[in-house]
Amino acid sequence: MNKPKYGGKNRMIGFDFIEKEMMKLKEISILEIGSLRFPDSWDGHGCATLFFAWLVNNHPKAKFVTVDIDPKCIDNAVKATNKLGISNNVKFITADAIDLFKGKNVIEKLDCVYLDGWDYFPNSQSEKKHFELFKLVDEYIKVGGYLLIDDMYSPTSGKGELIIPNVLESKRYIMVIHGYMVVLKKIKE
Ligand SMILES: C[S@@+](CC[C@H](N)C(=O)[O-])C[C@H]1O[C@@H](n2cnc3c(N)ncnc32)[C@H](O)[C@@H]1O
């Protein structure tokens, strides 16, 4: 299938960048937290799951794992990717992401991690949950790999508001794209 128009302007810059970076690699492994909520959505919710599924189906040696606590979202992701013919190389996991990775279920190094779980709203604890999860998966992100965080409503408010200052201050990641969807590159362990 042709390259989709995904995620509106807010995310397109980041996805275009990641597509180019991933296509340079001989093998890629991508993890997404929070899967397709609305079926067939290339724009906004759902765009990332379909984008990554499309990407790994257009790469000779790629894997994509998407995790969601809600079986309906996983079912949507399975059906939508099947319908578009992009479900090869995709693994769908229904689980609480923190429980899953506390159990050390990440088994290989990752080139790209996309954090888009717990919805962010006042007192939601979303930023705390994302930070807790990040600390579990960080060790699996390759040096040179990318961390993407969706829904940054401002530089200091959104799903990554605890992660971003932490990784920048420690000088282990650099900010590559600072928009509604943030792209960070890991530069050292
Ligand atoms: C914004 S949606 C994800 C959209 C998707 N990333 C996309 O763009 O294609 C957020 C998802 O996070 C999931 N979620 C919430 N808490 C979670 C948890 N503890 N573990 C895994 N997924 C969770 C929700 O069920 C919801 O489907």
Q: Compute and round to an integer the Cα radius of gyration of the chain.
A: 15
**For residue 81, how many C-alpha atoms fall within 13 Å in the half-sphere facing its CB?**
31
Q: With a 6 A CB cut-off, is 151 part of the ligand 1 pocket?
A: no
pLDDT, position 38: 82
Ligand 1 neighbour 65 (Cβ under 6 A): no
Q: What's the pLDDT at 12?
A: 86
Q: What's the first-to-final CA gap in the chain, in angstroms? A: 37
pLDDT reported for residue 43: 65
Tell me if 147 sits within 8 A of 173, measured CB to CB.
yes
- Which residue lies with its CA nearest to atom 26 of ligand 1? 34
**pLDDT (0 to 100) of residue 39:** 77
- Single-letter amino acid, residue 78: V
- Level-2 CATH architecture, domain 8-186: 3-Layer(aba) Sandwich (3.40)
Helical packing angle, 71-84 and 47-57, nearest 10°: 40
Residues of the chain with pLDDT under 50: none
With a 6 Å cutoff on the Cβ, whether 70 touches ligand 1 is yes
- How high is the pLDDT of residue 178? 92
Full 3-state SS string of the chain: CCCCCCCHHHHHHHHHHHHHHHHCCCCEEEEEECCCCCCCCCCCCCHHHHHHHHHHHCCCCEEEEEEECCHHHHHHHHHHHHHHCCCCCEEEEECCHHHHHHCCCCCCCEEEEEECCCCCCCCCCHHHHHHHHHHHHHHHEEEEEEEEECCEEECCEECCCCHHHHHHHCCCEEEEECCCCEEEEECCC
Please give the pLDDT value at position 189. Answer: 94
Rounded distance between C-alpha atoms, residue 4 and residue 10, angstroms: 15
Determine whether the shortest distance from the Cβ of 145 to ligand 1 is under 6 A. no
Looking at residue 151, its pLDDT comes to 94
Among 47, 66, 69, 78, which residue has the most ligand 1 atoms within 8 Å of its CB, making it the best to mutate? 69
Q: Is the CB of 41 under 6 A from ligand 1?
A: no
User: Which sequence spans correspond to the domains of the chain?
Assistant: 8-186
C-alpha torsion sign, points 172, 159, 109, 97? positive
Per-residue pLDDT tens digits for 52-103 = 999 999 999 999 999 999 999 999 999 999 998 999 999 999 999 999 999 8
Res 9: pLDDT: 72
Token code pair at residue 137: 């998966």
